[in-house]
Amino acid sequence: MKGQDPFAVIVGCSDSRVPPEILFDHGIGDLFVIRTAGNILDGIGMGSVEYAVLHLGVRLVVVLGHSSCGAVAAALTGEKPGGHQDSVIEALEETVSSVRGAADDEHDAASRKNVLVTVERLRNDEPSIRNLVEKEGLEIIGAYYDIGTGRVELPIGKGESS
């Protein structure tokens, strides 16, 4: 295969139970996949999204969260495991604290909120991406995979703000 021509970027979690190519039934070259614990985007992850939309012409970005996320569960405990794992917990602290006491299922609420926060960050933080959203039809949406049922809810949070 020469070059690549993906039609979507998937920003997903590193969790081995959440493989985007299988969940969305696509093969090699179809998806530009960025996976980190808790589907958190740092500068490198943001740069990866920029590359896909600016240089590969991708016009769909899907932020894929999921049930039973270990990173979210760890952040909910408030404990710091040490090492670089702390940076994952710290990246989720604000989102987790925003749902504490506001939902019956704090884990589910925090996982979904994390998706919406990442969607908004992608839409607003980088001028080149914001320009593509406003002028060239780049879609940035959230999705949620329920590990128990095997279903992907797409999109989530349409019209909601984080």
pTM of the model: 0.92
Q: What is the DSSP letter of 7?
A: S
CATH topology of domain 8-148: Beta-carbonic Anhydrase; Chain A (3.40.1050)
- Which token pair is 61? 């970005």
- CA–chain centroid gap for 21, Å, is 15
Rounded mean pLDDT of 4-16? 96
**Which of the four pLDDT bands, split at 50, 70 and 90, describes residue 158?**
low
- Helices 85-99 and 70-77 cross at an angle (nearest 10°) of 70
Query: What value does the mean pLDDT take over residues 31-59?
Result: 96
Residue 136 contacts residue 60 (beta carbons within 8 Å): no
Instruction: Summarize the confidence of residues 108-134 as an average pLDDT.
Output: 94
pLDDT at residue 160 tops 60: no
What pLDDT score was predicted for residue 3?
A: 75
Residue 141 predicted with pLDDT over 50: yes
For the cut 50, the answer to whether the pLDDT of residue 27 exceeds it is yes
- The beta-strand segments (E) located in 39-95 are 60-66
- Tell me the DSSP string of 19-48: -HHHHTT--TTTEEEEEEGGG---HHHHHH
Domain limits, the chain: 8-148
